[in-house]
Amino acid sequence: MTTMQTSTRVRGLRLSWIDFGGPGTPLLALHGHFGRARAFARLAADLAPDYRVIALEQRAHGHSERGDGDLSQDAYVADAAAFVRELGLGPLIVLGHSMGGVTAFHLAARHPDLVRALIVEEGGADNRQPHIPHPVLDVSDWPRRTATLAEMRRQIEARGIPDASYFLENAVEHPDGWGLLFDYDDMLASQQALVGDWWPQWLGSSCPALLVHGLDSFILPTAMVREMAQRRPRTALRELHGCGHWVHDDNPPAFARAVRDFLATVEHTGTDL
């Protein structure tokens, strides 16, 4: 499998992305807040050669530009739609984690010509309190620079994060020490923009969909995920024991099986794929 990281100018800003390569059916992967495109490397390997995973680093994340500072769902969705059209890939499978999952189902609702099947990992239809206990992670007091990567981990975990590994995917070494790629104010603004009632968008598409939920998730309540599956036609639900919000990291083989099983079912029935 050949992996290529590159960037493309979309809607006036440069977005970074990774093409994990291969001859298979294209699958667009969208990370969550604080995420990186390379988070999907294991999934890409597990799905190859049948599926070619293309992971987009969304605006203000990783090495992608922040643009004009608009971090609304409208901006994320418009970026994704323009990216798919720029590459000439649509309609394709779209998979998203957390915020990326919300972007994915917004994309399916607004641009049905671009999305053949939808996979949402831990992305909720109502991101408001009390439905979501903690919709915004306050990173305003996180360290800007530390002398070592280990010290960056220690300081983040001292602020109540059990395992900082996910966030440290953004760690880079600068002349004055280690720092994170994302802008802290941008991440707060983006999370706040995600707070809302997204039921109309979740119910606004008709393509086959899969919800993947970690039963130990502290972000997304199980009751909400089950309601999402029940209310939307042509939607399957896979709940995984022993997994939290980052199912793809907590149990990569089970996550890949869930995705493969869903896509195999869609292909077998000959529905939109």
How is domain 4-135+195-269 classified at the CATH fold level? Rossmann fold (3.40.50)
- The closest alpha carbon to 266, from 85, 104, 96, 115, belongs to 115
Give the pair of three-digit tokens for residue 241: 């024991």
Tens digit of each residue's pLDDT (9 = 90 or more) over 141-158: 999 999 999 999 999 999
pLDDT of residue 67 exceeding 80, the answer is yes
Domain boundaries, the chain: 4-135+195-269, 137-182
Which of 182-186, 226-230, 267-271 has the weakest average pLDDT?
A: 267-271
Measuring CA to CA, how many Å separate 106 from each of 129, 230, 241, 270?
20, 18, 27, 24
Residues of the chain by 3-state class (helix, strand, coil), percent to 5: 35, 25, 40
Cβ 265 vs Cβ 236: under 8 Å: yes
Amino acid at 72: S
Q: What is the pTM of this model?
A: 0.95
The rounded mean pLDDT for the chain is 95
Cβ 70 vs Cβ 85: under 8 Å: no
Measuring CA to CA, how many Å separate 178 from each of 125, 182, 205?
36, 13, 43
pLDDT band at 271 (very low <50, low <70, confident <90, very high): low
- Percent of the chain at pLDDT exceeding 70: 97
Q: Phi first, then psi: give them for residue 14, nearest 5 degrees.
A: -90, 120
Measuring CA to CA, how many Å separate 14 from each of 11, 57, 267?
8, 10, 34
Tens digit of each residue's pLDDT (9 = 90 or more) over 233-258: 999 999 999 999 999 999 999 999 99
